[in-house]
A = this chain, B = another copy of it.
Amino acid sequence: MNQDYIKAHEWSIIEEGFDPKRVKSSESLFSIGNGAMGQRANFEELYSGPSFQGSYIAGVYYPDKTRVGWWKNGYPEYFAKVINAPSWIGINVEVNGESLDLYTCKSVSDFKRELNMKEGWLSRSFTATLQNEVMVHVEAKRFLSLDSDELGAIAYTIKPLNTAAIIVLQPYLDSGITNEDSNWDDKFWDTTDVSQENHQAFIEAKTMKTNFHTCTFMTSQLFVNERQLVIEPEQKANATYASFSYRHQVKQNESFTIHKFGGYVVDRNHKKSDLLKVAKDLLKKALNIGFEQLLEDQKEVWAKIWSMSDISISGDVKAQQGIRFNIFQLNQTYLGRDAKLNIGPKGFTGEKYGGSTYWDTEAYCIPFYMATKDQKVARTLLEYRYYHLEKAIENAEKLGFSNGAALYPMVTMNGEECHNEWEITFEEIHRNGAIAYAIYNYERFTGDYSYIPEKGLEVLIGIARFWQQRASFSTDKNKYVILGVTGPNEYENNVNNNWYTNYIAQWCINFTIENIEKIKSDHPEDYSRIYNKTSLSEDEITQWKNVAEGMYFPYSEKHQVFLQQDGFLDKDLITVDQLDTSQRPINQKWSWDRILRSPYIKQADTLQGFYFFEDHFSEEILERHFDFYEPFTVHESSLSPCVHGIQAAKLNRMEQAYTFYLRTSRLDLDDYNHEVHEGLHITSMAGTWMSIVEGFGGMRIRNNTLSFTPRIPKEWDAYSFKINFRNQTIKVTVNQDTTCFEQDGSKDLDILVNNKSVTLTPENKVSLSCV
């Protein structure tokens, strides 16, 4: 744990006291989003101290020129950047001619932020004494509407406490925005028009190269002591900026309030020529509804989200806060409304990682969305890859593959690869496996087979073709090998026969063949369409089979474990606990070459395979591998502790599982990896959800049946979660001595609890002493 200033609270993230050193971290932690846009918790008023400005619009990106030392064939043309969008939240404040700026004012007291996760808003309040001795109290609240996801609202109230004062509130729009991570200091935005009329301002800007047209807009209402006031503002504008200055002589202890409404409309969703009109309509609507009612609507939508996705934990406030923070951020990032969007690793909270879509989505996020939303949300996420199949085939062609072999990109915005390190884009090919696995996982959980004949099989065929071509035959081993890969553990590059990759490649081929057979017999029309479309042949399938059957897996007879890759045992096998803590995290302390030749594992790799294919291995084998690899795992990827946590729980090592749980759920709140200022680890948050539901709850699908093996950390009194299983909602509550199941469907449901069959009838609680 590297920070602990966040107050423990069941439903809110709370910071008290003002410390400029925490500003960037808090900007990340208090980020808000609504699936269509999001922003870091930058202050509304001027702040001249160190700060990381960030507002983001879903799906709007910039293809920055890649940075590479020496160009090599097949490198992607660009590195997609999550683009920092024009800002609409700014409200500069002047008090008797002096700008309110928490960094330079005389003193700040009673500073408090709250991110109310239950209701979906962010507030901030403080008392500041300016250099001119005027003491003011400020209360600010803002949210991004889930109902109307192009709109956000801010209520900002200032009250002079020790004197009357002339106060100017200056709401503004600013498109003079840059990315901190620009590779070449390029300009990302081209502002085409700035206009103002009747208290409303609009900035029309398009992104360079990608030509996303946007209109950023705002309007305001002014109040004194809650009484609306019409003030004629002073207007200002330049090529990338528009503001109104509302000046008022405010009495001592009188509240001067602005309700600011703003947001973005984008030609991803509207006709380019309509943007200004749509923006005006939105502002009209916002003014009609008003801040208070918009906020009420917001609370309602969040109540609905929580009613399905909440996990409650009693007896452990920090654990409770952790899981809700994760669930909240996931819902702020992706709601499944737009088939072209996906779940960026940093969501709307920072620039790092660029791109929106990693294998994180399939490996970690789909289970959460599948179980807490209508199942079409997960299907939409699968379809996202289906629509990118052609690009994945092109991507593979660039690398020399043929005949419809598909290599999905490691990082993408639109289906094209947009990362730029060869050891990642060329070698971290296991992503293809996760994409196939998600198809399997979706069908297994939802029972919706229709996706496979309709769309999934084409994806599987492309992937099977890739694996067959990517494997090569070693006459020395008399086996098929996969050379030159990077596995999930990115602290290895260009290794041979990464067990996880070889295993998932074999599985992909077998799963594809299995489904071809099934569709051939059960969906002959789909079969014939796909057969023709993909020019499939029996010969080809035979080749796939040969590769799958002849696949090589590195194994140590001595340790009786599969080896992460060829040569793993040559390393200097010093366990993590023998490392001096001053050396951790190694990715910040050690040179890259030292990391590469060390035995340290950034994230679950062999164990990731045991997680995906748990049923293929006995618990004894799992345990042996867990005991072999966990001591070398540094968990410097956010995606790691959840997998080890689930496995620790399965092995009934609850103390260890609980430690992993805290680490994954409070990764950002406690800043385990010294980097929360860069943004939040959104995709790993789904892993936190899995830690409870699959880890502690032991939820699995076994032989088409929902199954649980409930356990509970000793630190907790109880926890409960809900699952949408094939359109029936099951609520599971685990106490220290009993587990209770409820379902609200219309028909009986047979489940397994600790491998014993239990029938859940609608609206009858079943309590079992089975923890």
Q: Is the CB of B426 within 8 A of A472?
A: no
Q: Is the CB of A475 within 8 A of B73?
A: no
Q: Does A74 contact B (CB under 8 A)?
A: yes
Interface positions, chain A 582-617, Cβ under 8 Å from B, are 587-594, 596-597
Which residues of chain B are near A594, meaning CB under 8 Å? 74, 399-400
Q: Is the CB of B571 within 8 A of A483?
A: yes
Nearest chain B CB to A74 CB, angstrom units: 3
Q: Is the CB of A427 within 8 A of B570?
A: no
Q: Is the CB of A573 within 8 A of B68?
A: no
Q: Is the CB of B592 within 8 A of A426?
A: yes
Q: Is the CB of B596 within 8 A of A484?
A: yes
Q: Is the CB of A72 within 8 A of B592?
A: yes
Q: Does A268 contact B (CB under 8 A)?
A: no
Q: Does A474 contact B (CB under 8 A)?
A: yes
- The listed residue with most B CB atoms (<10 A of its CB), out of A67, A400, A590, is A67
Q: Which of A13-21, A416-424, A628-636, A680-688 contacts the other chain? A: A416-424
Q: How far is the CA of A254 from the CA of B571 in the complex (A)?
A: 79
Q: Is the CB of A573 within 8 A of B399?
A: no
Q: How far is the CA of A474 from the CA of B556 in the complex (A)?
A: 14
Q: Is the CB of B69 within 8 A of A591?
A: no
Q: Does A315 contact B (CB under 8 A)?
A: no
Interface positions, chain A 36-70, Cβ under 8 Å from B, are 66-70
Q: Does A667 contact B (CB under 8 A)?
A: no
Q: Does A473 contact B (CB under 8 A)?
A: yes
Q: Is the CB of B483 within 8 A of A573?
A: no
Q: Does A356 contact B (CB under 8 A)?
A: no
Q: Does A231 contact B (CB under 8 A)?
A: no
Q: Is the CB of A68 within 8 A of B70?
A: no
Interface positions, chain A 489-510, Cβ under 8 Å from B, are 493-497
Which residues of chain B are near A72, meaning CB under 8 Å? 591-592
Q: Is the CB of B484 within 8 A of A570?
A: no
Q: Is the CB of A593 within 8 A of B69?
A: no
Q: Is the CB of A591 within 8 A of B496?
A: no
Which residues of chain B are near A573, meaning CB under 8 Å? 475
A508-529, CB under 8 A of B: which get 1 and which 0?
A: 0000000000000000000000
Q: Is the CB of B69 within 8 A of A496?
A: no
Q: Does A188 contact B (CB under 8 A)?
A: no
Q: Is the CB of A571 within 8 A of B68?
A: no
Q: Does A121 contact B (CB under 8 A)?
A: no
A414-446, CB under 8 A of B: which get 1 and which 0?
A: 000001111000110000000000000000000
Q: Does A461 contact B (CB under 8 A)?
A: no
Which residues of chain B are near A184, meaning CB under 8 Å? 184-185
Give the A interface residue count (CB, 8 A).
53
Contact with A567, one of B79, B422, B566 (Cβ below 8 angstroms): B566
Which residues of chain B are near A422, meaning CB under 8 Å? 592-593
Nearest chain B CB to A486 CB, angstrom units: 10
Q: How far is the CA of A494 from the CA of B484 in the complex (A)?
A: 10
Residue of B nearest to A587 (CB): B73
Which residues of chain B are near A79, meaning CB under 8 Å? 69
Q: Is the CB of B67 within 8 A of A484?
A: no
Q: Does A538 contact B (CB under 8 A)?
A: no
Q: Does A539 contact B (CB under 8 A)?
A: no
Q: Is the CB of B571 within 8 A of A420?
A: no
Interface positions, chain A 296-340, Cβ under 8 Å from B, are none
Q: Is the CB of A590 within 8 A of B474?
A: no
Q: Does A477 contact B (CB under 8 A)?
A: yes
Q: How far is the CA of A75 from the CA of B67 in the complex (A)?
A: 14
Q: Does A481 contact B (CB under 8 A)?
A: yes
Q: How far is the CA of A588 from the CA of B484 in the complex (A)?
A: 19
Q: How far is the CA of A588 from the CA of B66 in the complex (A)?
A: 19
Which residues of chain B are near A587, meaning CB under 8 Å? 73
Q: Is the CB of B67 within 8 A of A426?
A: no
Q: Is the CB of A570 within 8 A of B481?
A: yes
Interface positions, chain A 57-95, Cβ under 8 Å from B, are 66-70, 72-75, 79
When A69-B68, A184-B184 are in contact, do A398 and B591 touch as well, CB less than 8 Å? yes
Which residues of chain B are near A495, meaning CB under 8 Å? 494
Q: How far is the CA of A473 from the CA of B571 in the complex (A)?
A: 8
Q: Is the CB of B570 within 8 A of A400?
A: no
Q: Is the CB of B483 within 8 A of A69?
A: no
Interface positions, chain A 545-585, Cβ under 8 Å from B, are 558, 566-567, 569-573
Q: Is the CB of B67 within 8 A of A592?
A: no
A/B interface sample: 7 pairs, CB < 8 A: A70-B421, A426-B591, A426-B592, A426-B593, A472-B570, A474-B571, A483-B597
Known pairs A67-B67, A476-B570 / 15 extra A-B pairs, C-beta < 8 Å: A69-B79, A73-B587, A73-B590, A184-B185, A400-B594, A422-B592, A472-B571, A475-B573, A481-B570, A484-B593, A493-B494, A496-B570, A566-B566, A566-B567, A567-B567
Interface residues of A (CB under 8 A from B): 66-70, 72-75, 79, 184-185, 398-400, 419-422, 426-427, 472-477, 481, 483-484, 493-497, 558, 566-567, 569-573, 587-594, 596-597
Which 5 pairs across A and B sit closest by C-beta, in order of nearness?
Answer: A74-B591, A426-B593, A476-B569, A484-B597, A72-B592
